[in-house]
Amino acid sequence: MSDVTMTTAAEPDGAPRIAVLDILRGVAILGILFMNINDMGQSIYASFDDIRHLGWSQTDRIAWWLREVFANGTARCMLEMLFGAGMVILTDRVADKANGWVVMRRYYVRNLILFAFGLVHVFILLWPGDILHTYGLAALVAFLFRRLRPQWLIMIGLTLALFQLGGGGYFGYYLTLQTRAQVAAIEAKVAAGTKPTAEERKVLKDKAERDKKRAEARAKSHNDIAAEDKARKGTFITWAHAQWGSFLDIESQFLEILFVWEAASVMLIGAALYKLGILQGRRSRRFYVWTALIAYAVGITLRVIGASEQMEFGNGPYTFWASYEFARQAMTLGHVALINLLVSSAVGARLLRPFVAAGRTALSIYIAQTLICLWVLYPPFMLGLYGKMTWGPLMVTAFLINAALLIGANVWVRHFDIAPVEWAWRSLVERRVLPWRKRARVGPQVEGSPALA
């Protein structure tokens, strides 16, 4: 069992901190830049369509493979789990002093303010890939299930993964294979001189229509990539319009519903894992060893298969259409188990101690990543590096930015109680200006291993 699970009222508003959760949050918020920087430094549309547009040298392929197998979606998934844990911590804390309606109102206000921060992130800081507005909405949904037992939270939380497994597996994979086999048989029959039946002609016509739509979609995607590249290398106005356009395009396709569903479902799983003591290190070392082994065996296997399929650059069908969400959650659970294993040892705790500060300043780090990338490195003003870095250099740049932010976070928490964006958010929630400078403490402090105490 990890002994870095004790809480302390470390925040000016009295919010409790749990050291290992801060470590997980710090790892996740820094990890998310590896997923965002390609969309900041190159075309967002290309990331959804042709990843080779971002460079495809041998170094780029290695960087993409590592990112795809170990990181793709896992930082976001870990943040969603931690959001669910935070929901339990915060609502239980308020519930001790107030009735259910007060708890609900306070939590909803908190997340509606977060939603507003997300809109500022999108429309003012110009990051169309913002997750704050999505989490703000998803938390309103997850809250309704927070008091269920862990097994029910997990069952409900797996709905998206099960839907994807069934829908993507049957409609995306199985039916596509079946239809292709049917078409091949008909085409062979026609080639042999046999006249197709009316039903067979309909099958061939449907295939031709699908091929036409696929070609139109591919042409549109290429045009979108070219237009985005031109706009983001132009002026501030063209760049801003491109960023707003990308966000509104996503919204117009109703993908936000899927994003909210994903976030809310994993928040429920995170709430369950917290109630079971898994996230915060209350289980045995043996438990975390086996969890890491099993989760990584499933996650890495599915991820390697999925990455190999994407390298074909064809039309599918692909198994990852069905397995993506299970693979993402399995990899994330493996990361959670591994971090808890490391924290439970003196050496591992010392290595991970700096990430406590990153976890305490996560929201500010997230915004800082945007400011550095979108307002210094890659806009058409300042350094103007958009489109000039391929996969390999983008990942190296993300690492260097994160290293600087990690150092900065540790310097900050030595002198201040709360990070700037967190201060603004919680001050609005509390409806008072919170103190932010370091002050002398009285009362209980974090207890635990010497490395994190």
pLDDT on residue 1: 42
Enter the pTM of the model: 0.90
Angle at the Cα of 146 (from 145 to 148), degrees rounded to 5?
75
Instruction: Kindly state the average pLDDT of the residues 365-390.
Output: 96
Check whether 6 has a pLDDT greater than 90: no
pLDDT recorded at residue 7:
47
Q: What is the pLDDT of residue 20?
A: 94
211 and 204 Cβ atoms separated by less than 8 Å? no
Rounded mean pLDDT of 186-214?
A: 88
Note the pLDDT tens digit of each residue in 283-341. 999 999 999 999 999 999 999 999 999 988 888 789 999 999 999 999 999 999 999 99
Q: What is the pLDDT of residue 446?
A: 38
Helix/strand/coil for 8: strand
Q: Which residue from 28, 11, 127, 33 is spatially nearest to 401, judged by alpha carbons?
A: 33
pLDDT at 453 over 60: no
Whether 161 and 333 have beta carbons less than 8 Å apart is answered as no
Dump pLDDT digits (tens) for 205-227: 888 998 899 889 889 889 999 99
Mean pLDDT across 131-148: 95
The amino acid at residue 38 is: N
Indicate if the pLDDT at residue 237 is higher than 50: yes
Mean pLDDT of 59-78: 95
For the record, the structure tokens of 160 come out as 């998206």
The predicted pLDDT at position 61 comes to: 95
Q: pLDDT band at residue 189, thresholds of 50, 70 and 90?
A: confident
Helix (H, G, I), strand (E, B) or coil at 321: helix
> Is the model's pLDDT at 101 over the cut of 70?
yes
Residue 95, exposed/middle/buried by CB under 10 A (0-12, 13-18, 19+)?
middle
Average pLDDT over residues 434-442: 69
